A = this chain, B = another copy of it.
Amino acid sequence: MSQYTENGTAKGALSNLTILDLTRVLSGPFCTMMMADMGARVVKIEAPGTGDDTRAFAPMRNDSSVYFANLNRNKRSMTLNLKNPEGKRIFLEMVKKADVVVENFRPGVMKKLGLDYETLREINDQIVFASVSGFGQYGPYSQRPGYDILSQAMGGMMSINGQPDDPPTRVGAAMGDILSGMAVCIGILSAINARSVIGHGQQIDVSLVDTISFSIFAEVLRYFETGKVPERMGNRYAALAPYEAFAASDGDFIIACGNQKLYETLCNKILKKPELITDERFCTTPIRAAHYQEIRPYVEEWSRTVTVEEGVNALLAVGIPAGPINDASMLTKDPHIAEVREMYLPHHHPVVGDMTIIGNPIKMYDTKPSVRTPAPLLGQHTEELLKELLNLNDEEIRALSENGAL
Given contacts A13-B193, A190-B38, contact A172 B161 (CB under 8 A): yes
Cα–Cα distance between A224 and B218 once the two chains are bound (Å) = 35
Query: Can you list 19 A-B contacts with CB-CB less than 8 angstroms, sorted by A residue number?
Result: A12-B194, A14-B194, A58-B222, A59-B225, A139-B336, A140-B335, A140-B340, A144-B323, A145-B320, A163-B167, A169-B235, A172-B219, A191-B364, A194-B366, A198-B366, A198-B367, A214-B361, A229-B328, A230-B328
Set B14, B16, B336, B365: member contacting A135, Cβ < 8 A: B336
Closest residue of chain B to A220 (Cβ to Cβ) is: B328
Known contacts A161-B171, A173-B215, A213-B358; 4 further A-B pairs (Cβ under 8 A): A13-B197, A17-B193, A180-B361, A209-B337
A interface, size bucket: 35 or more
Check B364–A190 contact: CB distance below 8 A.
Answer: yes
A193 contact from B183, B193, B234, B258, Cβ within 8 A: B193
- Identify A139's interface contact among B192, B328, B341, CB under 8 A: B341
A226 CB–B CB distance under 8 Å: yes
Residues of chain B within 8 A of A12, CB atoms compared: 194, 197
Task: Kindly report which residue of chain B lies nearest to residue A224, judged by CB atoms.
Answer: B356
Whether A141 is near chain B, meaning CB under 8 Å from some CB there, is yes
Residue A156 at the chain B interface, CB threshold 8 Å: yes
- 4 closest A-B pairs by beta carbon, nearest first, are A189-B189, A160-B172, A13-B194, A59-B225
Q: Known A162-B163, A222-B59, A224-B332; judge A361-B213 contact (CB<8 A).
A: yes
Set of chain B residues within 8 Å of A214, measured between Cβ atoms: 343, 358-361
- The reply on A120 being an interface residue by CB < 8 A is no
